[in-house]
Amino acid sequence: MSAAFALFLHDLKLQFRHGSDLVAPLAFFVLAVLMVPLGVGPEPNLLARLAPGMLWITALLATLLALDRLFQRDFEDGTLDLLALAPMPLELTVLAKVAAHWVTTGLPFMVIAPILGVMLHLDGNSFIALEISLLIGTPVLSMIGAFGAAVTLGARRGGALLALLVLPLYVPILIFATSAIGAAGEGLSPRPHLLLLASFFAGGIVLVPFAAAAALRNALE
Amino acid sequence: MNDFQTFFAMGGYGAYVWPAYGLTALAFIAMLGWTVTTLKARRREEQGLSAAGRARRGRREAKS
Amino acid sequence: MTTARIPLLHRYANPAAFGRLSAQILPWTAGASAILLGLGLYFGLFASPPDYQQGNTVRIMYVHVPAAIMSEVVYGLMAAAAAAGIIWKHALADLFVKAAAPLGAAFTFVCLVAGSLWGKPMWGAWWVWDARLTSELVLFFLYLGYLALVDAFDDPQRGLRAGAILVLVGVVDLPIIKFSVDWWNTLHQPASLITMSGPKMDKSMLLPLFLMIGGFTTFFITMVLMRLESELLARRIRAWRTAAGEE
């Protein structure tokens, strides 16, 4: 366990050392949200209806941005080979990296999302649902994304391929997260949708490490 | 002729029915054509390569 | 290192042996396909009545529904083969996935376009974000993703394995996607084929439908056998080329 935690911290330190790696996603969030009213007009009601979807699409795309670096650096400099041979199971390595990825993409987005919600005139009742959906859903994005990064490791044009593979898998998360936020906005309970998201989280945390580790082993052979 | 025209018009929906069937036919022809062409090309290539391979082996054994 | 061997199947990893086996099966499946498709077209286009409500557009069903069925069945077969390939490490299994994928993608495409052509006169729009259409579109991208991934590696074996893992993840996600999209929106006609009280469709329409389903299936079997032999040959060709290069 402590080995996994050490890896998690190590990855985080690497991210923070290259400070610009952190600023880019955050700047992307704000810019993407800025594009929305510029693209569809500033009418508050329209923006309010679009807000849940636009916020989540931004979260999705931001997750994708940071993904192809997830294993690439370690793959190229041989660290991944060592990690695969280490006593710590590769599955745990995957989880540690997913956690580090989430801290640098999902978590900052959770922090900045309320501000973005205000910019998009998100309904007042929806903010809590927004935060909870992000809390549960963005780790799942990181998990599925990690699988995509693992399975495209060593492939040509891995970056473009990654988006093609991962976006279809993101569909259920997007649907239930935005439904939760929308339901809250209409005064209905977001609980059923959030519980479903939680089930994706639970399923993902169990299954994704195995799938990703298998893909990594395939790339390392 | 009139019968055929009536049939072809498909009660006004001809513009939808015929392209649907046409696309399906195209897809089948494409699948069939591509599969058969690739298979034949690869059969030929494999035969050529294995003949050449056997010839090389024969020469090597003759030398040793 | 031992791999679990299934002696009978292993023989057919040899393209020549496989070719001989499929040469015995192919005439039957190809012939059946031609007959079933021919009869299906005859009954579908000529010898069946237009629908009471939908008129002649219902004839599109005779290509749209079989294509939809094939698009799902093929993916399921691919997933089963991918699992078999990972468990038993048999060459044919992974190659089956690669052989079947373009066919499945083609069926999905036909389903989408035929459905769109059916939807325009019926619903007034070329595309609607209905549950069935949306999840079928996602399935189309699952196929495309596999096809792109499997060819993106310099080492074909690595590509096959990565693709197999992807298909397995995809097949787990597919019911989830369908459930989520269905829950999200439904406009598509509810199931009228497999219902509690048996098919709701008139017999005169069931006949061309089943003929076409049979025709599509036998066509798929014919094509996949040929493509499988093709993939085995490609592997053999690479081996020969490598051997020639090493001398």
A189 lies within 8 A of chain C by CB: no
Considering only CA atoms, which of C99, C89, C88 is closest in space to residue C18?
C99
**Residues of chain C with a CB closer than 8 angstroms to some CB in chain A:** 86, 138, 141-142, 144-145, 148-149, 152-154, 158-159, 161-162, 165-166, 168-170, 172-173, 176-177, 179-181, 183-184
Query: Residue C140 corresponds to which amino acid?
Result: F
Contact A193, A180 (CB under 8 A): yes
* Touching chains, C (3+ CB pairs < 8 A): A, B
Asked if B51 has any chain C CB less than 8 Å from its own CB, the reply is no
Q: Distance between terminal CA atoms of chain A?
A: 26
pTM for this one? 0.89
The residue range of the domain holding B62 is 39-64
What subunits touch chain A, counting only 3 or more CB pairs under 8 A? C
Lowest mean pLDDT, pick from B35-39, C161-165, C173-177: C173-177
Q: C247 falls in which pLDDT band (50, 70, 90)?
A: low
d(CA C182, CA C197): 22
Dihedral of alpha carbons A149, A154, A158, A163, sign: negative
> Both ends of chain B: CA-CA distance in Å?
79
Q: How far apart are CA B4 and CA A8, in angstroms?
A: 73
pLDDT of residue C1: 44
In contact, A47 and A120? CB cutoff 8 Å: yes
* Residue corresponding to tokens 């629908």: C51
Name residue A138's amino acid: T
Facing C233 at nearest CB: one of B12, B28, B46: B46
- The reply to whether B50 falls in a domain is yes
C158: which 2 tokens? Answer: 């690595």
The answer to whether the Cβ–Cβ distance between C243 and B24 falls below 8 Å is no
Query: Which among C141, C148, C162 is the nearest to A215, CB-wise?
Result: C162
B34 inside domain: no
B16 with C103: Cβ contact below 8 A: no
* Range ranked top by mean pLDDT from B7-21, C164-178, C188-202: C164-178
Any domain includes B21: no
Q: Classify residue B49: in a domain, yes or no.
A: yes
Per-residue model confidence as pLDDT tens digits over C228-246 = 999 999 998 998 888 877 7
Number of domains in chain B: 1
Query: Which two tokens mark C24?
Result: 């015995």
Segment A157-166 long-range contacts (CB within 8 Å, at least 24 positions apart): A157/C152, A158/A68, A158/A72, A158/C152, A159/A68, A161/C145, A161/C148, A161/C149, A161/C152, A162/A64, A162/A67, A162/A68, A163/A64, A164/C141, A164/C144, A164/C145, A164/C148, A165/C145, A165/C148, A165/C149, A165/C166, A166/A64, A166/A67
Chain C nearest-CA residue for B35? C227
> pLDDT tens digits, residue range C78-122?
999 999 999 988 889 999 999 999 999 999 999 999 999 988 888
Q: Do C106 and B45 touch (CB under 8 A)?
A: no
Q: List the end-to-end C-alpha distance of chain C, in Å, as a whole number.
A: 28
Q: Which residue of C has its CA nearest to B11?
A: C56
Residue B52 lies in a domain: yes
Q: Determine the residue of chain C that is closest to A165 in CA distance.
A: C145
pLDDT tens sequence across B33-45: 999 999 999 999 9
In a domain, B31, yes or no: no
Nearest by CB to residue A151, choosing from C165, C181, C183, is C165
Q: Do A155 and C159 touch (CB under 8 A)?
A: yes
In sequence order, the 6+-apart residues with CB closer than 8 A to the CB of C72 are C139
Contact C126, C120 (CB under 8 A): yes
User: Does B6 contact chain C (CB < 8 Å)?
Assistant: no
Q: What is the mean pLDDT of residues C207-232?
A: 95
Residue B28 in any domain: the answer is: no
CA atoms within 13 A on the CB side of A57: 10
Structure tokens at C242: 């490598």
B56 domain residue, yes or no:
yes
Q: Given an 8 Å threshold on Cβ–Cβ distance, is C55 in contact with B49?
A: no
Q: How confident is the model at residue C170 (pLDDT cuts 50, 70, 90)?
A: very high
Model ipTM over 0.95: no
